[in-house]
Every structure is written in structure tokens, then in C-alpha cells.
């Protein structure tokens, strides 16, 4: 691949002047995108990041329907710094990385087999989606009831604010999961971890609290040794059950991928909120799969902002912000998207394989308004009078919501 850089430009100008430079600027490889279209724009001689431009074609060449100014609504976990530990790694996207995201933050975490995310709790509620592998989670609620369970890909858990818990990777290869918190200002370093608390309590108080001599606390670990650390891979689930303990009654785990999906012509949607996962009072979610060429229909959410996580495939999202403002963004696996409250949008599969992503909301319930359904349920004279629709277009409007439509 030939890339025309600053040094090439200087040499060209010296040798042959502006005309020669103009000719050389056309010597790009055919697959190198340029910021030009329909007689507007021109070549970009560089310096430039061609790979990044190829990942974001709708930013390099905005669709003609884009207009005005909108803040950035995309950030990739690939651009988030990764913190490595003795038994795994973690990276996060919060309001510091994606400034528009005030209501939700996300953490991508990997635990090797046996890797333990130490006993801890948060001010924020924690919703999680298993991306890979298997994990064992534990928790204890304020009534002294406990939970121990194993999860695999497509499963979710929810720990309400203040509920202590742990997560451990299982065989054969540990796990990776997405954590979603109901506050964009969340920081994984601000969690309450048990080893840190022990280090900040006088041994005399620990002695009184636990009923053993102070010397029993002489070997407490440093908190830096325990954030994500190795432990032996646990045995069977039954072996981790606590004798005499009462299990949490409201259910902290849900098999999201096992739900019966809403099927439509272009794909499927699975919605999980407090209606079918009662404990999840602050996070509602939808797992969306769009077939190649398909479209998550034009819609908006009437209750709150939308935070997205792209699991596989490639797509683009167009967002309408009113006042003549709109913008288009491209997404791939590992990217996060955001749609501010009530803004109209669509998501289109631009690849040759299914596009799969999560829609997340800081709410106890999922809600969306379909543009198609709205128009279909409005008197025809009103609709045609507004939009000059002909009879065929009016007849095509759907009274039943179709979340994902096909490209054919």
C-alpha cells in the first residue's frame, strides 16, 4: 500500500512544483479511502491513519443526510487502557472516555481459569453479560441470604447497589464479560474491596469483631495483590454451597440468550428488564441480532439514554438530534455507542455476517417508539398531508412493531 506522506510532498514540490504534487497525490492504492465524493472534497496526502479511516467511512465521508454538530457517540474498548493483573485484565469506558455517557459506564474484564475478582461491592448497581467462557459468582444480600451460581456465554447477572459479591473464572479457559454500571462516573478503582478495608481497620478492632487474637491478622495481604488474583479452580457447584445458608430468593442470574426472541424479517430481539428479571431495577437491556443488509428500524426511546455494546459484526448508526442536526457512526466488535434521550436513530448491518449488540438503559423497563408504527396508527390524511406519501407508501405502513427489518 502506498501512502503519500509529508516527506513525499516536500520532495515532489521541490522536484516539480505544485502540478507534479497534484499528479502524485493520485497515486494512492485503490482501497485507500479519500475525503471526496460527487465532486466535493479532495485527496488527503497525509500524514494520516489509513486504517482508522477505513474503520470509519461515515466519518471520513459523511453521508449527505448528516448535518450540524453532534458530540462524539462512539468509543472503542480497543482505545481504552488495559490494566493487567496476576490472573486477568480489565479496561473501562466511562464519562472520562465517552463524555456524553453520563448515565452508564462499562467495564470489559477477563479472568483466567481460577482468576478471582476479589470480594467487593459498589455504590452502583452492576449488570453483567457473559461474553466468553464460564464463571462462578457469589453474593450475599442484606438479609443474610447467599447466592452461588455458574454462568456461561449469554447469561447475565445483576447485583444491586451495595450487595457484596465475587467472580471467578472456571475451566477450561476462564471467562470474559461485560460489566455495566448505572452511573457514567463509575471508576473500577473506586470499588469497596475487602482486603483494602482490612488494611484500614486497627487490629484491636478486628480482634473484637471476629473474636480471635490480634496476631491472627499479621499476614493480611496488600490490596494491590488481590484485585484480580489466582486461586485454585473451584470444584463442583455443590462443593461451594454453604451448609445451612438460605438462598437469595429474588434471583440474581438470568439466561438472556435462552429467552424466546422477538422474531422479525431482519433478525431477532431479546428484551430483559424488571418484568422478566425482577431484581434488575436500574438496568434494562435488549440483545439485538441483525441479518446482513437488515436494519434496526427507525425509532427512539421515550424514557432514557441508550448505551450500546457491539459483540460481533459491523454496522452503522444514524442519529437525529432535531434542530437540523444528525450524524452517522460506524461500529465493530468491542465498540461502544451512545444515543442521548429521545433522539431518533437506526442501526444498519453493513457486513456479510450477523450484527449482534446490546442496548442498555438506566431504567427498570425497556421502551421504544417505532416511527413506522406511529405513522401507521395516525390518521392517513394527517400522515400524507405531512409527508406527501402516495397510496403505496401509506399501505406499507405497519401497525405492529417490527424491531428489525430485512434489507430485501
pLDDT tens digits, one per residue of 164-177:
999 999 999 999 99
Give the CA angle between residues 21, 23, 27 to the nearest 5°. Answer: 105
CB 136 within 8 A of CB 99: no
For 229-244, what is each residue's pLDDT tens digit?
999 999 999 999 888 8
Residue 241's pLDDT is what?
Answer: 86
Q: Which of 156, 110, 116 is nearest to 133 (CA)?
A: 110
CB 131 within 8 A of CB 177: yes
Q: Which residue reads 436494519 in cell numbers?
A: 295
Q: 10 Å Cβ neighbour count for 68?
A: 11
Domains of the chain: which residue ranges?
Answer: 6-55, 86-254, 259-405
Half-sphere exposure of 107 (CA within 13 A, CB side): 21
pLDDT tops 70 at residue 9: no
Q: Which residue reads 440474581 in cell numbers?
A: 252
- Rounded distance, CA 407 to CA 399, Å? 19
pLDDT tops 90 at residue 216: yes
pLDDT tops 60 at residue 214: yes
Listing DSSP states for 322-358 in one string gives STT-EEEEEEETTEEEEE-TT-EEEEEE-SSS-EEEE
Confidence of residue 111 (pLDDT cuts 50, 70, 90): very high
Residues 6+ apart with CB under 8 A from 252: 137, 139, 147, 149, 157, 158, 159, 279
Query: Which option is the CATH number for 259-405: 1.10.1040.10, 2.60.120.10, 2.40.50.140, 1.20.120.140?
Result: 2.60.120.10
For 14-64, what is each residue's pLDDT tens digit?
333 333 333 444 456 778 999 998 889 999 999 999 999 999 999 999 999
Residue 144's pLDDT is what?
Answer: 93
* CATH superfamily, domain at 86-254: Jelly Rolls (2.60.120.10)
Residue 3's pLDDT is what?
Answer: 36
**Euclidean distance between the first and final Cα of the chain, in Å?**
36
**Mean pLDDT across the stretch 110-124?**
97
Report, as residue numbers or ranges, the catalytic residues: 359
Cis ω for the linkage preceding 47 (within 30 of 0)? yes
Q: Which residue reads 437540523 in cell numbers?
A: 324
**Mean pLDDT across the stretch 137-162?**
96
- Rounded distance, CA 322 to CA 70, Å? 10
Residue 28's pLDDT is what?
Answer: 67
> Any binding-site annotation on 365?
no
Q: Cα 39 to the chain's mean position, in Å?
A: 37
> Any binding-site annotation on 345?
yes
Burial of 8 (0-12, 13-18, 19+ CB in 10 A): middle
CA distances from 104 to 94, 164, 167, 407 (A): 7, 20, 21, 32
Residues 6+ apart with CB under 8 A from 210: 216
Residue 4's pLDDT is what?
Answer: 32
- Rounded distance, CA 330 to CA 352, Å? 15
> Any binding-site annotation on 122?
yes
Give the residue, 2 or 130, on which the prediction is more confident: 130
On average, the pLDDT of the chain sits at 92
Q: Which residues pair with 166 in a beta bridge?
A: 138
> Any binding-site annotation on 301?
yes
C-alpha cell at 153: 456465554
pLDDT tops 60 at residue 215: yes
pLDDT tops 80 at residue 408: no
> Any binding-site annotation on 216?
no
Residue 14's pLDDT is what?
Answer: 38
pLDDT tops 80 at residue 287: yes
For 292-326, what is each residue's pLDDT tens digit?
999 999 999 999 999 999 999 999 999 999 999 99
> Any binding-site annotation on 254?
no
Shared fold status for 86-254 and 259-405? yes
**Mean pLDDT across the stretch 78-87?**
97
CA distances from 176 to 58, 106, 170 (A): 30, 13, 11
For 321-380, what is each residue's pLDDT tens digit?
999 999 999 999 999 999 999 999 999 999 999 999 999 999 999 999 999 999 999 999
Query: 3-state class of 246 per DSSP?
Result: coil
Amino acid at each position: 500500500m502506498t501512502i503519500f506522506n509529508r516527506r513525499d510532498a516536500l520532495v515532489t514540490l521541490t522536484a516539480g512544483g505544485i502540478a507534479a504534487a497534484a499528479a502524485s497525490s493520485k497515486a494512492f492504492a485503490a482501497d485507500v479511502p479519500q475525503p471526496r465524493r460527487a465532486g466535493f472534497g479532495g485527496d488527503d496526502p497525509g500524514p494520516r491513519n489509513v486504517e482508522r479511516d477505513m474503520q470509519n467511512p461515515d466519518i471520513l465521508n459523511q453521508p449527505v443526510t448528516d448535518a450540524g454538530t453532534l458530540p462524539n457517540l462512539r468509543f472503542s474498548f480497543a482505545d481504552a487502557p488495559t490494566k493487567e493483573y496476576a490472573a486477568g485484565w480489565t479496561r473501562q469506558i466511562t464519562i472520562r472516555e465517552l463524555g456524553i455517557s453520563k448515565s452508564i459506564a462499562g467495564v470489559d474484564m477477563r479472568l483466567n481459569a481460577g482468576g478471582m475478582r476479589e470480594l467487593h461491592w459498589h455504590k452502583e448497581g452492576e449488570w453483567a453479560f457473559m461474553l466468553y467462557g464460564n464463571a462462578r459468582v457469589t453474593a450475599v444480600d442484606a438479609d443474610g441470604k447467599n447466592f452461588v451460581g455458574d454462568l456461561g456465554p449469554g447469561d447475565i447477572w445483576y447485583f444491586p447497589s451495595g450487595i457484596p459479591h465475587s467472580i471467578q473464572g472456571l475451566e477450561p479457559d476462564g471467562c470474559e464479560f461485560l460489566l455495566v454500571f448505572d452511573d457514567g462516573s463509575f471508576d473500577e478503582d473506586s470499588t469497596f474491596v475487602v482486603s483494602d478495608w482490612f488494611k484500614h481497620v486497627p487490629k484491636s478492632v478486628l480482634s473484637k469483631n471476629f473474636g480471635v487474637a490480634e496476631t491472627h491478622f499479621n499476614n493480611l495481604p496488600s490490596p494491590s495483590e488481590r484485585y484480580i488474583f489466582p486461586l485454585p479452580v473451584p470444584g463442583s457447584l455443590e462443593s461451594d454451597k454453604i451448609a445451612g445458608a438460605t438462598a437469595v430468593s429474588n434471583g440474581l442470574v438470568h439466561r438472556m440468550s435462552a429467552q424466546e426472541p422477538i422474531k422479525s424479517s431482519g433478525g431477532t430481539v431479546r428484551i430483559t428488564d424488571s418484568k422478566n428479571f425482577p431484581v434488575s431495577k436500574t438496568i434494562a437491556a435488549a440483545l439485538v441480532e441483525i441479518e446482513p443488509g437488515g436494519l434496526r428500524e427507525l425509532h427512539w426511546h421515550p424514557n432514557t439514554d441508550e448505551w450500546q455494546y457491539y459483540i460481533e459484526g459491523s454496522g452503522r448508526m444514524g442519529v437525529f438530534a432535531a434542530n437540523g442536526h444528525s450524524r452517522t457512526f460506524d461500529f465493530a466488535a468491542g465498540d461502544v455507542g451512545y444515543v442521548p434521550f429521545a433522539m431518533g436513530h437506526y442501526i444498519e448491518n453493513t457486513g456479510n455476517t450477523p450484527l449482534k449488540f446490546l442496548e442498555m438503559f438506566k431504567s427498570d423497563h425497556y421502551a421504544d417508539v417505532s416511527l413506522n408504527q406511529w405513522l401507521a396508527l395516525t390518521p392517513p390524511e394527517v400522515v400524507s398531508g405531512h409527508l406527501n406519501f402516495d397510496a403505496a407508501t401509506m399501505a406499507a405502513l405497519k401497525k405492529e412493531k417490527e424491531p428489525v427489518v430485512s434489507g430485501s
